Amino acid sequence: LVPIGLLVGIALSALLIWAMRSWSSTRAIVRQGLRRREYHLCYQPVIDLASGRIVGAEALIRWRRSSGEIVPPDIFIPAAEEAGIICAITGRVFDLLAEDASDVLRIEPDFHFAVNLSAADMHRSDIIADIHSLTERSGIPHAKLIVEVTERSVVDLERARETVHSLRRGGIAVAIDDFGTGYSSLAYLAQLDVDFLKIDKLFVHSLGTGSATNQVAARIIEMANDLNLRIIAEGIETRAQEMILRNLGVHYAQGYLYDRPLSLEDLLQRLRAQRAI
């Protein structure tokens, strides 16, 4: 038997996707959500594979509508990008992080935070100022902020390179997210001078399967190590995957094996427990 709540949830999401098919209504729906403060952040811990400790977290946006329904970011982020309103969401993410970070830093002063940027963010002129304002308001040291960009978010390579350059000149770290899922990965990697590579869960899930994808994953890690990039693997769900990644020389790990994305309260709880050990 399918729970009725799930059916209602699916129906509401379908209705929302339908409503978001027009750009103007997407803009109206997102603006309403911002006005009603329906967005919040979850934090998924990042584990240092050498010590097994939580050293940072990725901020992931959540949208809980007044109906109680949770809309997954996979649905509303692409819609907001298309409707040209993603920068308003990024602005809210920065505001929320600025509010949340001090509680975390009080427990773990060396904690790092990762935020996700979209293409429009990478190509607008005020993004650097916004990020510097975020570090100032949040108290996150520049070296402890990681900006995650995907290949998808690089439309104008020249422009993206300038943004990455300015960020790194300011001491902020840059990661290429979902690495390997695009079609021009190697070319981008060679041209964008970044600090971290995030290996997509698609590759992590292929480890140990003897598939071609598995071999690609090993080569990506080898290449990243050759380029002196630090590697974060995401989507780790089993100890077997963890062991293979550690042996391949991956430094950081993120995945359900350790934690799902947590509420701020749950993250603080985890960090206090870790402190006590």
Spatial contact of 179 and 201, defined as CB atoms under 8 Å apart: no
Spatial contact of 159 and 123, defined as CB atoms under 8 Å apart: yes
Interaction partner, residue 201 (ligand C2E, Ca ion, none; CB < 5-8 Å by kind): ligand C2E
Decide: is 44 part of the binding site for ligand C2E (CB under 6 A): yes
From the list 108, 151, 177, 195, which residue makes contact with ligand C2E (rule: CB under 6 A)? 177
Amino acid at 20: M
Site string for ligand C2E, 206-235 (x = CB under 6 A): ----------------------------xx
Site string for Ca ion, 108-137 (x = CB under 5 A): --------x---------------------
Question: In terms of CB distance, is 183 or 210 closer to Ca ion?
Answer: 183
Decide: is 254 part of the binding site for Ca ion (CB under 5 A): no
Q: Which residues 6+ apart lie within 8 Å of 5 measured at CB? A: none
Q: How far is the CB of 197 from ligand C2E (least distance, A)?
A: 13
From the list 101, 255, 264, 270, which residue makes contact with ligand C2E (rule: CB under 6 A)? 255
Q: From CA 95, how far away is CA 265, in angstroms rounded?
A: 17
Spatial contact of 249 and 221, defined as CB atoms under 8 Å apart: yes
Task: Name the helix (H) or strand (E) containing 201.
Answer: helix 201-206
- Positions in 178-207 near Ca ion (CB under 5 A): 178
Question: In terms of CB distance, is 53 or 260 closer to ligand C2E?
Answer: 260
Tokens of 272: 């206090």
Question: In terms of CB distance, is 151 or 177 closer to Ca ion?
Answer: 177
Q: What is the CA radius of gyration of the chain?
A: 19
Interaction partner, residue 60 (ligand C2E, Ca ion, none; CB < 5-8 Å by kind): ligand C2E
Spatial contact of 144 and 172, defined as CB atoms under 8 Å apart: no
From the list 100, 108, 151, 178, which residue makes contact with ligand C2E (rule: CB under 6 A)? 178
Q: What is the dihedral of CA 194, 200, 205, 207, to 10 degrees?
A: -30
Spatial contact of 28 and 34, defined as CB atoms under 8 Å apart: no
Question: In terms of CB distance, is 28 or 216 closer to Ca ion?
Answer: 216
Q: From CA 125, how far away is CA 276, in angstroms rounded?
A: 44
Residue for token pair 């963010």: 121
Amino acid at 5: G
From the list 61, 146, 176, 194, which residue makes contact with ligand C2E (rule: CB under 6 A)? 61
HEC secondary structure over 141-170: CHHHEEEEEEHHHCCCHHHHHHHHHHHHHC
Site string for ligand C2E, 88-107 (x = CB under 6 A): -----x--------------
Question: In terms of CB distance, is 22 or 184 closer to Ca ion?
Answer: 184
Decide: is 241 part of the binding site for ligand C2E (CB under 6 A): no
Amino acid at 238: T
Applying CB under 5 A, the residues found at the interface with Ca ion are 116, 148, 177-178
Applying CB under 6 A, the residues found at the interface with ligand C2E are 44, 60-61, 72-74, 77, 93, 116, 118, 177-178, 201, 234-237, 254-256, 261
